Chains A and B, each alone.
Chain A
């Protein structure tokens, strides 16, 4: 059931008013001691009973009247139920979205999993469809996948697609699944387009869509909850290992054995205290600890042990129990071992013989100063002319520091590098305005001149699509350190703390990053590139750090310098962690946390093992897949360790990449069930209604339709509303009936 004005439902609370009035009247009623009460009560008990019944009836009617009025004003309606057999037998296109995320593996008290019920229901729906009903099956587990070749009238194909649905450790990808459903439905010429979602409607997955629906108008949207217990208000209990962090805490001994500290975080999502046994397996070593978890709480368990140098794979598991209804999150896989340093190629656009004047004077120092335990960054510096394909391919990240010009080949080479998963960090500088090393003065002088404009044009042309936004002009308020320009200088004002680069600054309002002064910066045109994101802005909303994805890689652009020419950012203590994290982010090192690896369904880039020969992906189930076609970097003559794209792992466990025949040098990585799935609580009706509302309100224009077709929205909404059963007119009619009944009761009473 949905509501047109759900907020007015709060008015139903006014139903207590008649009761309060009744109680007040009762208190106000005159007390009279009366001898002949027997004639009111005992002489005619039937009358007393009838009177009491009548009083209760009148009171109930009054309460109902008030509540029904508020209910009617909230404009209730009933969404069409998951299509009945009769409805699906009519011609139409049906996008069947089936949630195969990890939480769908949770079992009910009878032992059936939610996924089994979803598949059974989907099969039932397909069987009920008529010959003119086409189906598309979309799996909602991350990443959302279309399991049928688009819409198909062949129901056998649709049914076979259901067989591909397996219990998985994937997270839920509601937005992706709905986008896929919208895309598929947009290909249908049928007037009746239905979207059916079979899901447990878990709170972690069902949230208002950031972008709305925006696809083809659908005539029916139905969601069928499969978490029967949860919908009935029962909290489905679950225990999970939600995180594992492993780190060395002592130097290796003579035999190469290290002292390792493994911290496992366990959580209890149930409503009662639960006990379990946490077991750590690391190579041949097995240790266990009995743990008691309070209701709704999490707890860390620390294991300290000594491991031999060759050990790389570990796991923490908890025992199965009846308080543990989801098995998929009972084991957490992780890896330990030496980290490979990030290979960073820095192109110096403005080299200077005097060290502290050099463009990279601060950057090199900052990248070298990685904290113990963090991924070390190996730096190789070249000049623009030395930027070759081999050097780029051997790198994880390329930094273009104040590089004013690139050849066309270099640009294409870098674009190709990023598309295959590499990262490029671009910083501005005087070379962008044809500088000679006196950047700020040049910018001052050339801010609006014709030569500056032509230089900016050259930069835009040289960088091409590597620049997240095209550069418009260079803006300067004065020289760095000039006290007269200090007040006019800009500072970092708005930062996306949720972004991996800035997460370490979250909550640090007095971080030196925010005290940095920017005197000169480039202005960009932010139009026309929706995928680019401004990660940090200067005072006045001027973009300072911009990210844009290209293919499987990323580009990050700093609109000022990394030396002291245009800003004093490089002098700040926040500078080293900032540039380190930018490089780590571009090399995807931040995607993997604490050796916990990736989540099932995430796109994984993993380090390539040393040596030569074809790459092979080893699956946890023992399967092997050749990886030549997906290697990020074509191993050239100067081939060094780099990353390889291994796709989206579909199961949890220890995976590995190796050179054919060199299993002992395999690089292993862990893939885990998305831990957001451990929380089995259902989304609130309010959230579900909001999502439903988005799907109808934002029901947009068919992508293939004429964008100028003004009626599309209305048609979509009208079609969506057509399927509804509007209840409030009936409730209003019922109200009149209630009024009549109350009046009759009162008149009859007197």
Chain B
């Protein structure tokens, strides 16, 4: 990716403020503005074309790519070979099951949060000539926008995310199988899901996806309520993906719940890492811009590590 570094201290908008704005594209624009403010203050030294290796000159090669320093040292014509990132295909895979509709009062729901982050990332990727696509899924693969590199594609993405509604259960393996079908070239896959109702098959499919050369980042999106269970009054809890109900005094079950939730996160994280994919736990109370910067930083460090 072209973004080499992003500094902290940018004016990132918090999720409560974002929730007051209407529309995914508007929210994404606000987030992008905040990110770009920070980026403009940073020295931008990245390039979209990076050196990969030398090869001996052969007729037909561009003269401008001859490495004259090497010729000086070795008395042979070598041509620099560059790796182009402009052909990176990224696919945002967003869980649109009913459980993603949960959000604390006055805040973005998990789905809305994921939509904003995905759109922001999409913008940044399109800005550097990469192509971006979108897949929404629940129990089946829903709407799919194949990766495109035109900036107008971003509007289509935002429109789709805005018009679609959360529904049904979660079948991540189905979604990942869909990715295989729609992403012909190796590319970047960013999966947004809370992983409620996840299946073992999801991770075998994930391994398969990584094995095909795709770079996969798993964002487990959870609401603050789900992470801390801050309820106190007698509450009748009702499932979002099922009719199950439980009347309970929250303080009685809090400890047990938090233990189980942590176990769940740890399991998802471990299985994701075991599948050679990246894992990020997303707390929807974190400003989306901060998350995007974090993702960019993580990706940068990953690329540096690769080199």
Taking CB atoms and an 8 Å cut-off, the chain B residues in 230-259 that contact chain A are 231, 233-242, 244, 246-249, 251-253, 256-257
Q: How far is the CA of A26 from the CA of B245 in the complex (A)?
A: 12
From A30, A38, A44, A750, B197 is in contact (CB under 8 Å) with: A38
Taking CB atoms and an 8 Å cut-off, the chain A residues in 1-58 that contact chain B are 25-26, 28-44, 47-48, 51
Chain B interface, DSSP helix/strand/loop, else mixed: mixed
Q: Is the CB of A40 within 8 A of B248?
A: yes
Q: How far is the CA of A32 from the CA of B230 in the complex (A)?
A: 13
Residue A450 CB within 8 A of the other chain: no
CB-defined contacts of A750 to chain B, threshold 8 Å: 251-252
Q: Is the CB of B252 within 8 A of A29?
A: no
Residue A111 CB within 8 A of the other chain: no
Q: How far is the CA of A33 from the CA of B109 in the complex (A)?
A: 13
Residue B264 CB within 8 A of the other chain: yes
Residue A355 CB within 8 A of the other chain: no
Residue A749 CB within 8 A of the other chain: yes
Residue B272 CB within 8 A of the other chain: no
Chain A interface, DSSP helix/strand/loop, else mixed: helix
Q: Is the CB of B196 within 8 A of A32?
A: no
Q: How far is the CA of A41 from the CA of B239 in the complex (A)?
A: 10
CB-defined contacts of A26 to chain B, threshold 8 Å: 236, 247
Q: Is the CB of B233 within 8 A of A30?
A: yes
Residue B99 CB within 8 A of the other chain: yes
Q: How far is the CA of A110 from the CA of B197 in the complex (A)?
A: 63
Chain A nearest Cβ from B156, distance in angstroms: 28
Chain A nearest Cβ from B253, distance in angstroms: 6
Q: Which of A28, A38, A749 has the most CB of B within 10 A?
A: A38
CB-defined contacts of A25 to chain B, threshold 8 Å: 234
Identify the closest chain B residue to A37 (Cβ).
B239
Known: A34-B240, A35-B226. A40 touches B196 (CB 8 A): no
Chain B nearest Cβ from A170, distance in angstroms: 63
Known: A35-B102, A36-B226, A37-B244. A29 touches B236 (CB 8 A): yes
CB-defined contacts of B194 to chain A, threshold 8 Å: 35
Known: A43-B260, A749-B252. A33 touches B235 (CB 8 A): no
From B100, B233, B246, A37 is in contact (CB under 8 Å) with: B246
CB-defined contacts of A41 to chain B, threshold 8 Å: 239, 244, 246
Identify the closest chain A residue to B103 (Cβ).
A35
Residue B261 CB within 8 A of the other chain: yes
CB-defined contacts of A43 to chain B, threshold 8 Å: 260, 264
Q: Is the CB of A29 within 8 A of B235?
A: yes
Chain B: residues with Cβ within 8 Å of the partner, total of: 36
Chain A nearest Cβ from B96, distance in angstroms: 13
CB-defined contacts of A36 to chain B, threshold 8 Å: 99, 102, 196, 226, 257, 261
CB-defined contacts of A34 to chain B, threshold 8 Å: 102, 225, 237-240
Q: How far is the CA of A29 from the CA of B244 in the complex (A)?
A: 16
What are the interface flags for A737-750 relative to B under an 8 Å C-beta threshold, 1 for contact and 0 otherwise?
A: 00000000000011
Q: Is the CB of A47 within 8 A of B238?
A: no
Q: Is the CB of B234 within 8 A of A29?
A: yes
Chain A nearest Cβ from B250, distance in angstroms: 9
What are the interface flags for B116-149 relative to A under an 8 Å C-beta threshold, 1 for contact and 0 otherwise?
A: 0000000000000000000000000000000000
Q: Is the CB of A31 within 8 A of B238?
A: yes
CB-defined contacts of A31 to chain B, threshold 8 Å: 235-236, 238
Known: A47-B256, A51-B253. A39 touches B261 (CB 8 A): yes
Q: Is the CB of A38 within 8 A of B196?
A: yes
Q: Which of B237, B261, B264 has the most CB of A within 10 A?
A: B237
Q: Is the CB of A37 within 8 A of B253?
A: no
Identify the closest chain A residue to B240 (Cβ).
A35
Chain A nearest Cβ from B224, distance in angstroms: 12
From B100, B225, B239, A38 is in contact (CB under 8 Å) with: B239
Q: How far is the CA of A27 from the CA of B99 in the complex (A)?
A: 25
Q: Is the CB of B253 within 8 A of A32?
A: no
CB-defined contacts of B100 to chain A, threshold 8 Å: 35
Chain B nearest Cβ from A163, distance in angstroms: 68
Q: How far is the CA of A739 from the CA of B238 in the complex (A)?
A: 33
Q: Is the CB of B236 within 8 A of A30?
A: yes
CB-defined contacts of B260 to chain A, threshold 8 Å: 39, 43-44
Q: Which of A31, A34, A35, A40 has the most CB of B within 10 A?
A: A35
Chain A nearest Cβ from B226, distance in angstroms: 5
CB-defined contacts of B233 to chain A, threshold 8 Å: 29-30
Known: A43-B260, A47-B253. A37 touches B248 (CB 8 A): no
Q: Is the CB of B257 within 8 A of A39?
A: yes
Q: Is the CB of B235 within 8 A of A30?
A: yes
What are the interface flags for B87-101 relative to A under an 8 Å C-beta threshold, 1 for contact and 0 otherwise?
A: 000000000001111
Known: A37-B244, A39-B261, A40-B257. A32 touches B237 (CB 8 A): yes
Chain B nearest Cβ from A625, distance in angstroms: 82
Q: How far is the CA of A40 from the CA of B264 in the complex (A)?
A: 13
CB-defined contacts of B257 to chain A, threshold 8 Å: 36, 39-40
Q: How far is the CA of A750 from the CA of B252 in the complex (A)?
A: 5
Q: How far is the CA of A35 from the CA of B248 in the complex (A)?
A: 16
CB-defined contacts of B226 to chain A, threshold 8 Å: 35-36
Known: A26-B247, A38-B197. A33 touches B264 (CB 8 A): no
Q: How far is the CA of A25 from the CA of B231 in the complex (A)?
A: 16
Q: How far is the CA of A692 from the CA of B261 in the complex (A)?
A: 66
Q: How far is the CA of A287 from the CA of B261 in the complex (A)?
A: 90
What are the interface flags for B272-302 relative to A under an 8 Å C-beta threshold, 1 for contact and 0 otherwise?
A: 0000000000000000000000000000000
Chain A nearest Cβ from B133, distance in angstroms: 27
Q: How far is the CA of A40 from the CA of B225 in the complex (A)?
A: 13
Identify the closest chain B residue to A34 (Cβ).
B237
Known: A43-B260, A43-B264. A37 touches B242 (CB 8 A): yes
Known pairs A39-B264, A749-B252, A750-B251; list 4 more (Cβ under 8 Å). Answer: A26-B236, A35-B240, A36-B99, A40-B253
Lowest 4 A-B CB distances belong to which pairs? A35-B99, A35-B102, A37-B239, A29-B236
Q: What are 23 A-B pairs at a CB distance below 8 A?
A: A26-B236, A26-B247, A29-B235, A29-B247, A30-B235, A32-B235, A33-B102, A35-B98, A35-B102, A35-B110, A35-B240, A36-B257, A37-B242, A37-B244, A39-B257, A39-B264, A40-B246, A40-B248, A44-B260, A47-B253, A47-B256, A51-B252, A750-B252
